[in-house]
Amino acid sequence: MAEWEQKVFWSVVDVEQGDDGFKVLLDGRNLKTPAKSTLQVPTRALAEGIAAEWRSLKDKVDPEALPLTKLANAAIDKIAVQSEPIIEMLAEYATTDLLCYRATSPKGLADRQEQIWQPLLDWFSDIHNVGLEVGSGVMPIRQPTQVLTDCAAILKTYSHYELAAVYDLITLSGSFVIGVATAAGKIDVKDAWAASRIDEDWQIAKWGEDEDAMSLAATRQNAFERAAFILTLLK
């Protein structure tokens, strides 16, 4: 049986300021989240971006064409009602942070990791007073017990909408530090993604590209860059 598809039934998409932010209207009716809450976001820039997505739809509602809407839905329906378990899960990334696991050989790869990753760890320690242990090999690195508490406290400083974007930055990069540094503007988004791909790119340079892997990486990079862009719409 074919999956039911929602058709485009509206002709006008507007943005309207509400009591607690900005709403998107479809023919004068409030756009709703999947949980039936009114979709209301904190900045006009984000609301206009969401409105542009809905204006771009042709005959049917394609969720893949609505990434800003998807983030707002997640912020309203999920993060706003269950932020604690989400924060706890994201904080765990710091205990296995990509930047802490270093190669010992080949020397070129080890040097590249040190050159790109260590300044980010130093910044993280200086700004947030959270020092992460660095090691080599595949064995787990034991991080200080305070790391989870401190990283959860960092995440609690973000709004629900910011946290929805930071969620993607952390999970897509595999690094709590890269995610937070990108959100803070410490590192350019393209450089941040490249930092998360040092090991993979080294292997590609040595053995060549795998078409499927490269396609997946491109999809993930687009999502990472979009999450960073969303943060600019929230300022």
Dist CA 210 CA 12 (whole Å): 44
Looking at residue 211, what is its pLDDT?
Answer: 86
Percent of the chain surpassing pLDDT 70: 98
Chosen domain end from 77, 104, 121: 77
Indicate whether 138 and 193 sit together in one domain. Answer: yes
What does the pLDDT read at residue 220?
A: 96
Burial of 84 (0-12, 13-18, 19+ CB in 10 A): exposed
On whether both 131 and 183 belong to a single domain, the answer is: yes
CATH number for the domain spanning 113: value is: 1.10.3580.10
Residue 193 reports pLDDT greater than 60:
yes
In the listed set 29, 49, 77, which residue is the last one of a domain according to the structure? 77
Residue 1 has pLDDT above 80, yes or no: no
Report yes or no on 37 lying in a domain.
Answer: yes
- 27 and 137: one domain? no
pLDDT digits (tens, 9 = 90+) for 36-88: 999 999 999 999 999 999 999 998 999 999 999 999 999 999 999 999 999 99
Q: What pLDDT, on the 0 to 100 scale, is given for residue 139?
A: 85
Q: Within this chain, do residues 42 and 98 fall inside the same structural domain, yes or no?
A: no
Residue 138 has pLDDT above 90, yes or no: no
User: Which of 56-65, 87-96, 110-119, 194-203 is predicted with the least confidence, judged by mean pLDDT?
Assistant: 56-65
Is 53 contained in some domain?
A: yes
Q: Note the pLDDT of residue 99.
A: 98
Do residues 99 and 132 share a domain? yes
What is residue 5's predicted lDDT score, i.e. its pLDDT? 60
Residue 4 inside a domain? The answer is no
What radius of gyration do the chain's Cα atoms show?
A: 20
pLDDT higher than threshold 80 for residue 110: yes
44 and 87, same domain (yes or no): no
Instruction: Tell whether 140 is covered by a domain.
Output: yes
Q: What is the C-alpha separation between 53 and 38, in angstroms, rounded? A: 17
User: Last residue of some domain: 55, 77, 99?
Assistant: 77
Same domain, 45 and 155: no
Tell me if 40 is assigned to some domain: yes
Q: How confident is the prediction for the chain on average, in pLDDT?
A: 94
Number of structural domains found in the chain: 2
pLDDT at residue 146 in the model? 95
Q: Is residue 70 part of a domain?
A: yes
Tens-place pLDDT, residues 148-169 = 999 999 999 999 999 999 999 9
The residue segments making up the domain with residue 117 are 83-233
The tens digit of pLDDT for each residue in 3-23 reads 446 888 899 999 999 888 999
Residue 110 sits in the same domain as residue 185: yes
Looking at residues 173-194, what average pLDDT do you find?
98
Residues 70 and 89 in one domain: no
pLDDT for 67 equals: 95
Whole-number Å distance between alpha carbons of 227 and 67: 9
pLDDT reading at 2 higher than 80: no
**For residues 155 and 13, what is the distance between their CA atoms, to the nearest angstrom?**
34
Looking at residues 89-107, what average pLDDT do you find?
96
Residue 20 within any structural domain of the chain: yes
Q: Are residues 124 and 19 in the same domain?
A: no
Q: Are residues 72 and 109 located together in one domain of the fold?
A: no
- Is the same domain home to 124 and 205? yes
Instruction: Give domain status of residue 1, yes or no.
Output: no
Strand 21-26 to 40-41 pairing: antiparallel
Q: CATH number for the domain including 26?
A: 3.30.2180.10
